[in-house]
Amino acid sequence: MFEIEFGDEGIVVVDGRLDAAQAVKAQIFLDQVEGQCVLDLTKLEYISSAGLGVLLKTHKRLMGSGSGVKLINVNHHIHDIFRYSGFDKLFEIVAASDR
Protein backbone atom coordinates (compact mmCIF):
# COMPACT_ATOMS: atom_id res chain seq x y z
CA MET A 1 0.00 0.00 0.00
CA PHE A 2 1.26 3.45 -0.87
CA GLU A 3 -0.56 6.78 -0.94
CA ILE A 4 0.64 10.29 -1.70
CA GLU A 5 -1.51 13.41 -1.45
CA PHE A 6 -1.56 17.04 -0.38
CA GLY A 7 -2.28 17.65 3.30
CA ASP A 8 -2.67 20.85 5.28
CA GLU A 9 -0.78 23.93 4.10
CA GLY A 10 0.32 22.22 0.90
CA ILE A 11 2.49 19.68 2.69
CA VAL A 12 2.80 16.46 0.73
CA VAL A 13 1.88 13.46 2.87
CA VAL A 14 3.13 9.99 2.00
CA ASP A 15 1.83 6.80 3.55
CA GLY A 16 3.01 3.21 3.24
CA ARG A 17 5.82 1.59 1.28
CA LEU A 18 7.65 3.49 -1.44
CA ASP A 19 9.20 0.64 -3.41
CA ALA A 20 9.98 0.01 -7.07
CA ALA A 21 6.33 -0.86 -7.77
CA GLN A 22 5.14 2.51 -6.41
CA ALA A 23 7.90 4.81 -7.64
CA VAL A 24 6.08 5.77 -10.84
CA LYS A 25 2.97 6.79 -8.88
CA ALA A 26 5.08 8.95 -6.57
CA GLN A 27 7.00 10.52 -9.45
CA ILE A 28 3.84 11.41 -11.36
CA PHE A 29 2.47 13.15 -8.28
CA LEU A 30 5.67 15.01 -7.42
CA ASP A 31 6.17 16.15 -11.02
CA GLN A 32 3.15 18.44 -10.50
CA VAL A 33 4.69 20.20 -7.50
CA GLU A 34 6.23 23.62 -7.99
CA GLY A 35 8.17 25.74 -5.49
CA GLN A 36 9.24 24.54 -2.06
CA CYS A 37 8.06 20.96 -1.43
CA VAL A 38 7.68 19.71 2.13
CA LEU A 39 7.21 15.95 2.42
CA ASP A 40 5.76 14.60 5.65
CA LEU A 41 7.19 11.11 6.11
CA THR A 42 5.41 10.30 9.39
CA LYS A 43 3.59 7.37 7.79
CA LEU A 44 6.32 6.27 5.40
CA GLU A 45 7.09 2.71 6.50
CA TYR A 46 9.75 1.84 3.96
CA ILE A 47 11.76 3.26 1.08
CA SER A 48 14.05 1.56 -1.43
CA SER A 49 16.47 2.98 -3.99
CA ALA A 50 13.59 3.44 -6.43
CA GLY A 51 11.93 5.78 -3.95
CA LEU A 52 15.22 7.56 -3.29
CA GLY A 53 15.49 8.13 -7.03
CA VAL A 54 12.09 9.83 -7.03
CA LEU A 55 13.15 12.15 -4.19
CA LEU A 56 16.47 12.93 -5.86
CA LYS A 57 14.91 13.71 -9.25
CA THR A 58 12.30 15.98 -7.66
CA HIS A 59 14.85 17.75 -5.48
CA LYS A 60 17.16 18.42 -8.44
CA ARG A 61 14.27 19.77 -10.53
CA LEU A 62 13.07 22.10 -7.78
CA MET A 63 16.57 23.22 -6.81
CA GLY A 64 16.92 24.33 -10.42
CA SER A 65 14.27 26.95 -9.72
CA GLY A 66 15.70 27.96 -6.34
CA SER A 67 13.57 25.81 -4.03
CA GLY A 68 13.83 22.11 -3.23
CA VAL A 69 12.47 19.27 -1.14
CA LYS A 70 12.37 19.28 2.68
CA LEU A 71 11.75 15.99 4.47
CA ILE A 72 10.00 16.11 7.84
CA ASN A 73 9.03 13.57 10.51
CA VAL A 74 11.65 11.07 9.35
CA ASN A 75 11.79 7.94 11.51
CA HIS A 76 15.13 6.36 12.36
CA HIS A 77 14.83 3.44 9.91
CA ILE A 78 14.24 5.80 7.00
CA HIS A 79 16.92 8.14 8.31
CA ASP A 80 19.41 5.27 8.23
CA ILE A 81 18.70 4.80 4.53
CA PHE A 82 19.16 8.54 3.91
CA ARG A 83 22.43 8.49 5.83
CA TYR A 84 23.85 5.47 3.96
CA SER A 85 22.79 7.12 0.69
CA GLY A 86 24.35 10.47 1.52
CA PHE A 87 20.91 12.06 1.26
CA ASP A 88 21.39 13.60 4.70
CA LYS A 89 23.92 15.90 3.02
CA LEU A 90 21.63 16.79 0.10
CA PHE A 91 18.26 17.36 1.76
CA GLU A 92 17.02 19.36 4.71
CA ILE A 93 15.80 16.60 7.01
CA VAL A 94 13.82 16.95 10.22
CA ALA A 95 13.74 13.77 12.31
CA ALA A 96 10.48 12.66 13.90
CA SER A 97 11.79 13.41 17.37
CA ASP A 98 13.07 16.87 16.42
CA ARG A 99 9.64 18.45 16.12
- In whole angstroms, the minimum distance from the beta carbon of 2 to another protein comes to 10
Of residues 9-68, which lie at the interface with another protein (CB under 8 A)? 17, 19-21, 46, 48-50, 52-53, 56-57, 59-60, 63
Q: How many CB atoms lie within 10 A of CB 73?
A: 20
> How far, CA to CA in Å, does 30 sit from each of 46, 58, 59, 99?
18, 7, 10, 24
- In whole angstroms, the minimum distance from the beta carbon of 9 to another protein comes to 26
Nearest-angstrom CA–CA distance, 15 and 49: 17
Q: Could you list the residues that contact another protein (CB under 8 A)? A: 17, 19-21, 46, 48-50, 52-53, 56-57, 59-60, 63, 77, 80-81, 84-86, 89-90
